[in-house]
Amino acid sequence: GDRSSNLPEPIIHHIFSFLETINVVRASTALQTTNEKFKDFVNWVLLSQNGSTNIQRFLLSCFNSVDDYTLYRWLNAVAQRNVQVLDLDIISEEPIKLPRCLVTCESLVSLKLNFGNREHQGVLNLPTCAGFSRLKSLDLQHVEVLDYNLFRKFLSSCPLLENLYMKECFFRDFKILDISTTSLKYLTIDEFLLSEPK
């Protein structure tokens, strides 16, 4: 490899701190760094500032498995830093549960969850506690919901929800689409997937 890939991690992190995020991704590829080094860098960026800087938008795309601990740690960090827009594009074989700190995050106004593709819908374990008090936009793509009644309760706990977009979502035991929220202005359903009748 080239000499730059042998630099100590603190120096690589220091260099990365001056770059835009997209350039960090390019540089980490050029430096032939491993996923672990990149994960360490994201940890360093999110956790080193002790919540002193707010995050307006956080986009996380993981096409390789990300372990629950790392995912929850990052989501906790962005929630503590008052994230307003969160876009999670994750392919996982395991169900994904949104941590309580994210559900109760009062700064979050837009949430996009894309958990798969046409052949695979990732399972979303919905929160059982009320939350998302300021959420205005919810975008669900390639998401499998195991309990439709819990999904209805989840939506009704979002009092400011104005925009709901669902693409290729799969609902088990679904019978009637019933969305009980008075604030909803826009509802878009693209290829709604239903469970097989029993």
Grade residue 1 by pLDDT with cuts at 50, 70 and 90.
Answer: very low
Q: Check if the beta carbon of residue 160 is closer than 8 Å to that of residue 136.
A: yes
Task: Give the integer Cα–Cα distance in Å for 161 and 140.
Answer: 13
25: pLDDT strictly greater than 60: no
Helix (H) or strand (E) holding 187: strand 186-190
Grade residue 141 by pLDDT with cuts at 50, 70 and 90.
Answer: very high
Lowest mean per-residue pLDDT among 19-23, 55-59, 132-136, 182-186: 19-23
Q: How far is CA 48 from the centre of its chain?
A: 21
| Greater model confidence, 45 or 102 | 102
198: pLDDT strictly greater than 50: no
194: pLDDT strictly greater than 80: no
Per residue in 41-90, pLDDT tens? 676 667 766 656 888 999 988 766 667 788 888 899 899 899 999 999 98
Amino acid code (one letter) for 75: L
Grade residue 154 by pLDDT with cuts at 50, 70 and 90.
Answer: confident
pTM, two decimal places: 0.77
Q: 88: which strand partners? A: 60, 113
pLDDT above 70: percentage of residues in the chain:
69
Per residue in 111-132, pLDDT tens? 999 988 767 778 888 777 778 8
